[in-house]
Structure 1
Amino acid sequence: MTLSEWYEDVQAQLNEDGISPTFVQPGANSALPIVFLNVHVDSDMSSKVGTLSSVEQQIDIYDSIDTPPAEWEDFVRKVKWSLSKVTRWQSLTASNSIDTSMGESTPLRRCMLLITLEGDY
């Protein structure tokens, strides 16, 4: 599987589960909640077949600061559950924060997922 095929599979699965991912940096006017497939880091190139054996992918989830914590946790869990249907990962870490990077707009809830994918990509 190529990394491009993995992105297509992830997008199809998230859409099937009612989650609309984006691959473009969201702006201040983007509709919430947002699931943004952010940067990835390639490592461990296989010398035998020339494919990647490890990829670390960042996925950022944003929602309104006014979203009740229980609803927020349910949405994050839904995203992870949807990803688990198409992703074999070596590790998954989640980090929650309040994001103020949008400047003068209202702060957002943010969960940064870091997934280390296993297998050849």
Structure 2
Amino acid sequence: MNARRALRVFLAVGYAAAGILHLAAPQPFLTIMPAWVWLPDAVVFWTGIAELFGAAALVQPWSAKLRRLGAMGLALYAVMVFPANINHFALDMTRGDGGLGLAYHIPRMFAQPLLVWLALWTGGVLDWPFRRR
């Protein structure tokens, strides 16, 4: 198994697990939702569904086009949930105990663009910074 395929499976498993968590235990996701988001319960539910569909599309073996669409969907998803990550960071930093702390939040902030790139690269949408042989 090459690196792209292995990372694609790893990413899909991670998104599938997150999707299941969004559906089975939505409360932690609701607590970090920015106040301006309308219908937060529905948003958490549909983000879980999006993660599951994106993960399935990313690893299905039949269609490169569907894999690319799933990758683009997961990349867009990672961009769209970034405000919740920022809100979580802000909420934790105002807590007396610091919440999960900087050791959690700083890497998470840097990881978000990496997740966007990883979805696009593993899904075959782009080759940057690597060229296909």
TM-score (norm 2): 0.29
Q: Relative to total residues, which structure has the larger helix share, 1 or 2?
A: 2
TM-score (norm 1): 0.31
Q: Relative to total residues, which structure has the larger strand share, 1 or 2?
A: 1
